[in-house]
Structure 1
């Protein structure tokens, strides 16, 4: 479905969830930088960061880890922990393609698609 989601829909579960609103500009900026660096979206960055933080807390006090309580595995944040060497190589190749593609993107992006539609809103 081309990665389109309804407002509040989680990328991981595909189900409607309560949206997380980030009002702190530094948090939004850092999440944006990481999302761009990792070639992913803000939702994925936030989930990864929270999982990494949970891992760190669980290592400090294993009996209080949220992932342990929830029964869900925690995943390391960052460079593809838990991947085989072949998967890691493929991930790096994809990231290299993303970096190469960024050279050609035009900023700022626009949502004006008037050149593709006639005066009635139908495709030309």
Structure 2
């Protein structure tokens, strides 16, 4: 579209995938579903103008990635699988330079769908 080119989308997709495996499961790095909060604080706790916190900053215990979000991005955007209410399959893939791909087991209206793409005239 006019705001996001296929190249920009591909860079964003690859960055998102990389974020989940920066260093083979090393939880020292931030991940896509992580958050921080102040422990032992209440609504009366104030933060000074120099950002001195009055509670202990705690890192979340969640260290998993958002694979369902990434799966949705790939299935709906890269593969172009667009859900419809009339039980028809609509494909409109974003051309990010992949010559071929296959996805199996997309559950759609009580059926499993497989998409096989081989770029026309790629040899």
TM-score range, shorter-chain basis?
under 0.3
Higher strand share: 2
Higher helix share: 1
Taking structure 1 as the reference length, the TM-score comes to 0.25
Greater Rg, structure 1 or structure 2?
2
Structure with the greater relative contact order (CA < 8 A, sep ≥ 6): 1 or 2?
2
Taking structure 2 as the reference length, the TM-score comes to 0.25
